[in-house]
Amino acid sequence: MAKPDYLKEVEKTIRASSGKASAADVAFLKKYVGTQYDILGVNSPTIRAFSKAGFSFSTLDFSEQIAVWNTIWQKSSLHEAMTLAILFWERNIHKVDGHASWVHLKTWTGKIDNWAHSDGLSNLYSHLLERKPSMVLPELKKWNKSKNPWERRQSVVGLIYYYRKRKEVLPYSTLIPLVEHLLDDKDYFVQKGVGWALRELDNAYHKETFQFLKKNFARITGIAFAAAAEKLSPKEKEELKVLRKKARKK
């Protein structure tokens, strides 16, 4: 008996719901997400409904389901199918041993080409970092110096992702060197990630992070600063803006 083609099943399900998006909507979404993968414009609620409902292989042994979704992520060129692979882990990351999760998920960064998938994986990586710091942190440090900009972005956004989701975070002194190393990075999405990381670090360690922002105000790019200053008080924002304005005049 031929082995079921689960990738084909998933992609067929998605394509069956793709008729509602116009060509213009699809083109806009592809540009907005910034992906080179095929994208059909199926909305997020529908994709999440597919994820919740499951597929024919959702009754398989859990380890087999992991293998199926790993294959889908690695072999599909359809953005929505890859998103479903991330959603599978989003629903199950708390149920799986941290080491078993990391073995699969750490290999996924090489296929990222857009912020949506990057952020979805950052959510997973930050959870695993909280559970298994000695296992995950060395890889993040490695990615911090990678030639792949999406790995560099992961090395900072994956540190905390959203502070409100963390029960605990690593010490400030452990986290800040990875962010500081990328302050001068030339990639737009890495800079967005730097700003994101600084914002969440500020939520966790306000005093230390604000002092870092004051010390490095001239190095922090406008792209990163917009996100980094998002949760600061009006007084703190104004203080940094004055410093940055004076630096630009010089």
Could you read off the pLDDT of 49-79 as tens digits, one per residue? 999 999 999 999 999 999 999 999 999 999 9
Three-state SS string over 170-189 comes to CCHHHHHHHHHHCCCCCCHH
Q: Residue 91 carries which side chain, given as an amino acid letter?
A: R
In angstroms, the first-to-last Cα distance of the chain is 74
**Element holding 50 (H helix, E strand):** helix 44-53
pLDDT on residue 249: 67
Q: What per-residue confidence (pLDDT) applies to 236?
A: 94
> Which pTM was predicted?
0.93
Residues 114, 118, 60, CA angle at the centre, nearest 5°?
Answer: 110
Contact residues for 27 (Cβ-Cβ < 8 A; gap 6+): none
What would the two tokens of residue 78 be? 């359809």
Q: Look at residue 95 and tell me whether its pLDDT is greater than 90.
A: no
Q: Domains (ranges, CATH) in the chain?
A: 140-250 (1.25.10.90)
Closest alpha carbon to 161 in 127, 138, 190: 127
* pLDDT tens column, 111-129: 999 999 999 999 999 999 9
Of residues 122, 211, 136, the one with CA closest to residue 173: 211
Give CA torsion, residues 56, 60, 66, 68, to 10 deg: -40
Contact 82, 45 (CB under 8 A): no
Specify which residues 38 forms β-bridges with. Answer: 78
Answer with the residue of higher pLDDT: 22 or 206: 206
pLDDT tens digit string along 146-158? 999 999 999 999 9
Cα-based angle 21, 44, 56 (whole degrees, multiple of 5): 100
Task: Quote the pLDDT of residue 69.
Answer: 97
Phi, psi of 213 (to 5 degrees): -65, -40
pLDDT above 80 (res 93): yes
Cα–Cα distance between 66 and 77 in angstroms, integer? 19
